[in-house]
Structure 1
Amino acid sequence: MTLLLSRRSLSALALAGMPAAVRAQSAWPDRPVRLVVPFGAGGAVDTLSRTVANAFPQQANGQPMVVENRSGAGGTIAGGVVATSRADGYTLMMADLGANAIGKMLQPGLGYDPLTAFSPIIHLVNLPLVIVTRPGLGTATVPELIDLAKRRNGEMTYASPGVGHASHLSAELLARRAGIRWQAVHYRSGADVMRSVIAGETDWTIPSVSTAMPFIREDKVRAIAVSTADVVPALPGVPTIAATYDGFSSATWHGVVGPAGMPQDIVLAANRALRAIITTPSVKEQTERVQAAQIVAGTPEDFASFIRAEAAKWEPVIREGNIRAE
């Protein structure tokens, strides 16, 4: 008896004989992918997410990436959604410090552990922070800011976009390095933070460079130092905090994760697609220019190691400062 095979059967047999990584590259995704974003529309994280989503079909079998904003609770609402989703590669998350590294330190009752609940896929970018001061504060350098804080004896105020945000923790890390105290005043958004400093309600803040840049250009605030180990090209002439406190380094960072337990071939396929997107010259140029971002890319293992290092770095700051989510 002659055995007749349809084209579909032959294709299926050929696919089955391929290595797993090749099968994943051709098979995933075969439907739209959801990207859960832990903050509202219009901010820096949302901008990055939509930049990635717009380029996704070209690297992912023509399938769209649908951005879903789930803001609240320092990103942990979104974290909870993704942590409990199917680990099939069709629900991913734009990762953030709070939701994906330190959330349980800030909220001991959090229903998931950020260090075990996710499959790290790729570290996309670091966003440098910059210390900016209110008009008339009279400080032009980090040592001058610290000296003034000492004279104020704990009464100096800084604006923060929320408990546990990289901006908040960076300010507290600086206080620990300098041996001083100052008071955090928390707001709901980066825009509110900048309004506070410009209006003189607070003395200073340390937002992302992209958030502060329009106000720096208009001389509404003074930039005195960046938070990264190296100077930021968008702010030539502005020194690093590390020039005063050796080894100081912090940033807002974002990458992509999925639920824990994702098949490795799908993790690798997603990494390839997302790495191709973030290193595409047009996307790279837009991200670096608009958000002053530092492109990272790298492997899933690189990102997993980075997240663990971030958790270890901020744990003593959170513990010794008794920092808890509101």
Structure 2
Amino acid sequence: MARVTRRTGLGMVAAALAAPALAQRVDWPPGPIRFIGIFPPGGGTDILSRLWCQKMMELTGEQFIVENRSGSAGNIGTEAIARSAPDGRTIGLGSVAPLAIGPTLYRRLPFDVTRDFTYISGLWQLPNLLVVHPDVPARTVPELIALVKANPGKFTYASSGSGTTVHLSGAMFAAQAGLEMVHVPYRGGAPAHVDLMAGRVHMIFDNIPQALAEAREGKVRPLAVTGAKRSPQAPEIPAMAEFLPGFEITSWGSVVAPAGLPAPMVLRIAALARQALETPELIARFEENGATPWPAGPEELAAFRTANEAAFAPVIRATGVQVD
């Protein structure tokens, strides 16, 4: 990732955004800012995270260095965020998987979602997209359901890890359609897609950015999105709810820091995050990748996370999925 010097970045703020006062009120300590990405490089959430970090570099003149700490459906990277010093030098991706799904899905977590984090800003919301390998002889969701029902236990669905929305989308699909499928978890979306395109697994319900790009290149076949309605980025693809009423799973990403981050710094980062998310350039790049910018503030984000955990809990229990 290209780096922007402090002088150049602040000049851009003054000239383009007229916001130097915001940058001066509460400053980060000198040195690069580490952004912990909780999934592997190359996946949809990693792409979106890097786009936001690049825009933040332009706004602040600070160096934002993305450090990918993947594994355990984002729990490894999320724990690394929680165990960091609350000095503003380490922030990271807060994701639906560890923060809203994990408390119900996992019997034990290495962090407390309410006690160990400072919730700063929303980043994006996006649905998942069901895609299948081109050799799978199904071109619609009803055809796929019929095919899997006729071959119980023979079809596999990949995920970016147990406990992600990618995993739960597949589990919910199997539960609602009455299917017997095999879940194959990976350490992130990128390696899962490698095996999908190689034909080693049959399908994946992945975050829309990477799945949609591969579908448009003809590498996989898209069948349905998991939002409540069709995605504006791909209106030709039906929503799963058109076939299975009530089916809805939406992914989200946010900015979090360790607990104890000083309130003035929280407000500054949140304000800059909103500025970044409201720039036409970043809005366009997010939408190109199937995501909707989500500039929720600290209190809104924390309340949303709590409500989202409560909403996911009965879904997780209904699928019968639980992870040690």
The answer to whether TM tops 0.5 is yes
Residue equivalent to 1:296: 294
Residue equivalent to 1:48: 48
Structure 2 residue runs of 5 or longer lacking an equivalent are: 1-20
CA distance in 2, matches of 1:84, 1:244: 43
Distance 1:100 1:59, change over 3 A: same
Aligned residue runs from structure 1 range 75-90, under 5 A: 75-90=74-89
Count of aligned pairs: 302
Aligned residue runs from structure 1 range 255-274, under 5 A: 255-274=254-273
Distance 1:220 1:184, change over 3 A: same
1:149 Cα deviation from its structure 2 partner: 2.5
Contact between 1:24 and 1:265, CA under 8 Å: does it hold in 2?
no
Residue equivalent to 1:93: 92
1:198 Cα deviation from its structure 2 partner: 3.5
Contact between 2:106 and 2:322, CA under 8 Å: does it hold in 1?
no
Distance 1:190 1:85, change over 3 A: closer
TM-score (structure 1 length as normaliser): 0.82
The one-character-per-residue Cα deviations of 1:133-153 (angstroms, maximum 9, x if unpaired) are 222433222222223222223
1:292 Cα deviation from its structure 2 partner: 1.5
1:117 Cα deviation from its structure 2 partner: 1.6
One-letter amino acid matched to 2:305: I
CA distance in 1, matches of 2:195, 2:107: 30
Contact between 1:53 and 1:65, CA under 8 Å: does it hold in 2?
yes
Distance 1:215 1:84, change over 3 A: closer
One-letter amino acid matched to 1:26: R
Residue equivalent to 2:14: none
Distance 1:144 1:116, change over 3 A: farther
Structure 1 position 143 matched with structure 2 position 142 = yes
Distance 1:81 1:246, change over 3 A: same
Contact between 2:36 and 2:90, CA under 8 Å: does it hold in 1?
yes
What is the identity percentage for the equivalent residue pairs of Structure 1 and Structure 2? 35
Residue equivalent to 2:125: 126
Contact between 1:127 and 1:209, CA under 8 Å: does it hold in 2?
yes
1:228 Cα deviation from its structure 2 partner: 1.2
Residue equivalent to 1:18: none
Residue equivalent to 1:250: 249
1:304 Cα deviation from its structure 2 partner: 1.4
Query: Larger Cα Rg: Structure 1 or Structure 2?
Result: 1
The one-character-per-residue Cα deviations of 1:255-294 (angstroms, maximum 9, x if unpaired) are 10112233333222211100111221112112221x2111
The one-character-per-residue Cα deviations of 1:166-192 (angstroms, maximum 9, x if unpaired) are 111111122222233321122344343
CA distance in 2, matches of 1:261, 1:27: 16
Quick check: 198-207 or 238-247, which moved more?
Answer: 198-207
Distance 1:195 1:79, change over 3 A: closer
One-letter amino acid matched to 2:290: A
One-letter amino acid matched to 1:54: Q
CA distance in 2, matches of 1:201, 1:43: 19
1:23 Cα deviation from its structure 2 partner: 8.4
The one-character-per-residue Cα deviations of 1:90-131 (angstroms, maximum 9, x if unpaired) are 321111223333334444343311233212111111232111
Residue equivalent to 2:214: 215
CA distance in 2, matches of 1:265, 1:246: 45
Quick check: 22-31 or 273-282, which moved more?
Answer: 22-31
1:154 Cα deviation from its structure 2 partner: 4.0
CA distance in 2, matches of 1:35, 1:225: 32
Distance 1:204 1:281, change over 3 A: same
